[in-house]
Chains A and B, each alone.
Chain A
Amino acid sequence: MTHSSAQSLNATHVYRRIVTPVVAGALALVSLTANADWAYRGDVSLQLRAFTDNALHQADQSVSGSVSGNAEFNRPVGENGSFTISPFFRYDTHDENRTHVDLREFIYSHSAESWELNVGLGKVFWGVAESNNVVDIINQKDAIEGASPEHKLGQPMINLLLLRDWGEISLYVLPGFRERTYPSEDGRPRGFFTVDSDNAEYESSNEQNHIDVAARVSGAIEEWDLGFHIFHGTAREPTLQFPSFAPFYYQMTQVGLDVQATLESWLLKSELIHRSGDNITDHIQLVSGLEYSFYGVAESDVDIGVVAEWLYDDREEQADTIFQNDILLGFRFALNDEQSSEALVGVIADMDGGAKTFTVEASRRFRDNLKLSLEALIWTDAKDDPLLFQFAQEDYVQVELGYFF
């Protein structure tokens, strides 16, 4: 923890200065070649959040609003290549950190008979679980956007994929590190203490320029899907230093596996990792559970899925994550109607302290291009939880209207 914060401050700002013009340039590039055959998809969404309690911290707004845009443009390059650009932006009325732009993807892909090479800014998903994907290590989380694994910062990468009959081997060189995003002092919901993300520190003297490496082998054997991985480099999840609350990004080696068995209506899922490093206690994290679906409940078109998962960290009380010994129980309702109406109701309960996080997500399509989504997050029995007590007054309801193209 010896390196000056001035450097990382600089790096963050340089990154912002680079990413903004690159996003603008990418959009200009797409519009200039608009008559070439770009495939595209995306949305522009308006979001309103209403907080039900007064905050324990200085951000005292009871309502905040934001507008965001997501797009993915893809076009073939020659016989075997393709190029993908996925810009993102959000403007937030209160939180300056949530007002940000990013390139989720800016990547060239070359496909051959038995291999594929991807070079650029990419987005990769690993994992099988529903509550938390502990194996999903390649990209930094755009945590200020929410907990869903779709919110990720574009990761600089050179990725070689070897395709085999039984599955694939994926090798990564990851030059350049992205810092996790956190709410500013004016943002909600947030913890009592704001993370000093402008003063991040690094174990590696190369800071954000440390080159990380990773490999994953994955494949399917009948109803079993298996993945093994190893990662060496900068942890995506920092430890927070006291009393500055500046993130500290340590070096680590992570090995892990993910497995899913698909047995008729039952899905059995597990993700397991082991992390080791000079600046952390070596530990394992586990997410393990099952999903069962009832199709066409009571002669209707409604499907109901039940998800139960156990989240465990063997450091137990010493764990710096909120999932040290927790149970997720979730119910997914799909009406299978014309409007694709869906709802997800879930609770993550701490088996040690008793704190509970309730989530409700629901969505419904309107006309052909609009979708209305509702989300609510409620924390209960959190007063005595060493981390979650900070969120006891941060309950909110969010309404989002998206236009899709």
Chain B
Amino acid sequence: MKALSIIPLSLTLLAVSTGLAQAETAEERGLAIAIELNANNDNFADSTASMTMTLINRAGKKSVRRMRSRTLEVPGDGDKSMTIFDEPADVKGTASLTYSHATEADEQWLYLPALKRVKRISSKNKTGAFMGSEFAFEDIGSQEVEKYTYKYIGDDEVNGIPVHKVEAYPAYKYSGYTRIMNYIDQERMLSLKTEFFDRKDKLLKTLSLDEYEHYDGKHWRANRLEMVNAQTGKSTILEFSDYEFATGLQSKDFSSNALKKLR
């Protein structure tokens, strides 16, 4: 019975979606692109990577942070992720654990190695600077479609590559941004550039994503991210290396006890 009833239903759906395509609003088109972009990022099961973050101040003085991360994809919810810090040396061994959620508040823990203490911390701080860099916590957190509403603005070019311009509006009430303009490669559906506008709707930061690599022929990842603060002149370069996917990490590898054991 069921098998039979599927056929007319899917035909109906097809008819409806074709109908929508003709009268698609800018919001619907924006959402459709966001879903496609996100799908391009998902279905990796889990991943591990090393990161080098170079902070550059207005005078050009650099300071470096190094860390490693592991991420577990949670179907239907935000990712679980861990970050362990290797440099600077005074924070070596400090590690964080985040259960991000699409619409609810994230859950977050911090491991302090000198105390052997796992501390549950408030996850409300989305606007704060991550490790003194130009990346805010909300920039590096798990990106879920539901965290924003969208609007398709038009087409443009970035470095000669045709892109879609899609504006995203944070659903999170404590976000530091009024809107985020995404420049998305039309062919590969990858984000090439992002502009962040502050609460006064002034341009705050511009993120450039470069050196995309197609890992295992499945997962597109930018190996170099550069965030330039338009208001302070400071910038941060975030470089990824040693990306690995589907390494077999499980939910139990993302517990507070596992956080203590991370080295």
Q: Hey, which bits of chain A sit against chain B, CB under 8 A?
A: 39, 41, 43, 70, 72, 74, 82, 109, 111, 113, 116, 123-125, 127, 148-150, 161, 163, 168, 220, 225, 260, 262, 264-267, 293, 295-296, 301, 303, 336-340, 365, 368-369, 371, 402, 404-405
Contact = CB atoms under 8 A, between A and B. Distances in A.
Question: On chain B, which size bracket covers the interface?
Answer: 35 or more
A150 B114 contact: yes
B176 interface: yes
B129 A336 contact: yes
B116 A125 contact: yes
A149 B261 contact: no
Among A72, A82, A109, find the residue whose CB has the most chain B CB atoms closer than 10 A: A72
B115 A149 contact: yes
A262 B124 CA distance: 10
Nearest to B90: A404
Nearest to B256: A220
B127 A296 contact: yes
Interface string B122-141: 11110111001000000000
Contacts of A111: 261
Interface in B21-63: 55, 57, 63
Contacts of A82: 261, 263
B88 interface: yes
Nearest to B200: A299
A262 B105 CA distance: 11
A340 B55 CA distance: 13
B161 interface: no
A293 B105 CA distance: 16
Given A127-B117, A220-B120, 4 more contacts: A41-B92, A113-B252, A225-B120, A264-B124
A264 B90 contact: no
A163 B105 CA distance: 25
A267 B109 CA distance: 13
Contacts of B115: 125, 148-150
A74 B262 CA distance: 10
A343 to B, nearest CB: 16
Interface in B58-76: 63-64
The A interface is mostly helix, strand or loop, or mixed, namely strand
Interface of B: 55, 57, 63-64, 87-93, 105, 107, 113-117, 120-125, 127-129, 132, 176, 252, 255-257, 261, 263
Contact of A262 (B55, B122, B252): B122
Contacts, number: 96
Contacts of B124: 264-265, 293, 295
A295 B127 contact: yes
Given A150-B114, A369-B88, A267 B132 contact: no
Nearest to A335: B132
Contacts of B125: 293, 295-296, 303
16 contacts: A41-B93, A109-B261, A123-B116, A149-B117, A161-B257, A262-B122, A293-B122, A295-B128, A336-B132, A338-B132, A339-B132, A340-B91, A365-B90, A368-B63, A369-B88, A369-B90
Contacts of B63: 338, 368
Among all A-B residue pairs, the 8 with the closest Cβ atoms: A404-B89, A39-B263, A41-B92, A125-B117, A404-B90, A295-B125, A338-B132, A150-B114
A338 B232 CA distance: 14
B105 to A, nearest CB: 7
A46 to B, nearest CB: 15
B254 to A, nearest CB: 12
Given A149-B117, A150-B114, A336-B132, A368 B88 contact: yes
A163 B257 contact: yes
A154 to B, nearest CB: 11
Given A39-B263, A123-B116, A168-B257, A369 B89 contact: yes
A296 B176 contact: yes
Contacts of A267: 120-122
Nearest to A76: B263
Contacts of A124: 116
Contacts of B256: 220
A338 B120 contact: no
A378 B92 CA distance: 32
Contacts of A161: 257
Given A150-B114, A301-B128, A404 B92 contact: yes
B149 to A, nearest CB: 22
A368 B89 contact: yes
Contacts of B132: 336-340
A93 B57 CA distance: 41
Contacts of A72: 93, 113
Among B64, B89, B105, find the residue whose CB has the most chain A CB atoms closer than 10 A: B89
B57 A303 contact: no
A39 B85 CA distance: 12
A363 to B, nearest CB: 9
Contacts of A265: 122, 124
Given A295-B124, A296-B127, A303-B125, A163 B255 contact: yes
B55 A43 contact: no
Nearest to B64: A368
